């Protein structure tokens, strides 16, 4: 069975995001083993300096790295955008080479450059989205990809 990990900085505090995530994780169990690993976003001052942000991202990097397995896809604004059908193909091809696919979602300040180096970069939208909402959008698109790959009626 396919294995997907979502490594995310920040926890879903809002009930509506958590509820949406729970729904997509439940639906995805039909197609894959999916696991979400959340890490606490580092606390910073109200107006952090670039150095403070970099230090925080480096600390988050140290928490994330041990959880990176298989094919790594990093969600980043500078990444490549895909249609839902192209995203389904990306997932399918990833499983041709690896048995685990790991998506990484950063904090509201993004991710360390070290995580982005030598990994695939995915842009979910050119618009700025809160990282909590972005996680739900990613989970929905993973579900949609599996329905496309399995000719299910969800994707129209």
- Kindly report the pTM of this predicted structure: 0.93
**Structure confidence at residue 40 as a pLDDT band (50, 70, 90):** confident
Asked if the model's pLDDT at residue 155 lies above 80, the reply is no
Closest of 27, 58, 28 to residue 42, by C-alpha? 58
State which residues form the domain around 31.
Answer: 2-43+51-149
Q: Is residue 156 situated within a structural domain?
A: no
Q: Is residue 10 situated within a structural domain?
A: yes
Q: What is the number of domains present in the chain?
A: 1
Asked if the model's pLDDT at residue 56 lies above 80, the reply is yes
Q: Give helix 15-28 / helix 131-149 axis angle, nearest 10°.
A: 20
Question: Which token pair is 29?
Answer: 């169990």
The stretch 145-152 carries a mean pLDDT of 94
**Structure confidence at residue 30 as a pLDDT band (50, 70, 90):** very high
**For residue range 75-113, what is the model confidence (pLDDT) as tens digits?**
998 999 999 999 999 999 998 887 899 999 998 889 999
Strand order in the sheet with 32-39: 32-39, 2-9, 100-105, 71-80, 120-122
Closest of 78, 65, 76 to residue 37, by C-alpha? 65
Q: Is residue 155 situated within a structural domain?
A: no
pLDDT given for residue 92 in this prediction: 94
**For residue range 130-143, what is the model confidence (pLDDT) as tens digits?**
888 999 999 999 99
H-state helical runs in 5-156: 15-28, 50-64, 84-97, 113-116, 131-149
CATH number for the domain harbouring residue 71: 3.40.1280.10
């Amino acid at each position: 069975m396919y294995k997907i990990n979502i490594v995310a900085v920040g926890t879903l505090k809002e009930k509506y995001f958590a509820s949406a995530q729970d729904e997509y994780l439940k639906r995805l169990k039909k197609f894959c083993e999916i696991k979400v690993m959340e890490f606490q976003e580092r606390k910073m001052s109200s107006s952090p300096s670039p150095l403070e942000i970099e230090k925080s991202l480096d600390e988050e990097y140290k928490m994330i790295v041990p959880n990176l397995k298989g094919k790594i896809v990093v969600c980043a604004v500078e990444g490549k955008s895909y249609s839902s059908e192209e995203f389904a193909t990306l997932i399918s091809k990833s499983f041709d080479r690896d048995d685990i696919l790991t998506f990484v979602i950063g904090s509201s300040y993004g991710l360390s450059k070290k995580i982005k180096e030598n990994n695939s970069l995915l842009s979910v939208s050119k618009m700025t989205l809160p990282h909590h909402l972005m996680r739900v959008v990613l989970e929905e698109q993973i579900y949609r990809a599996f329905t496309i790959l399995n000719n299910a009626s969800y994707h129209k």
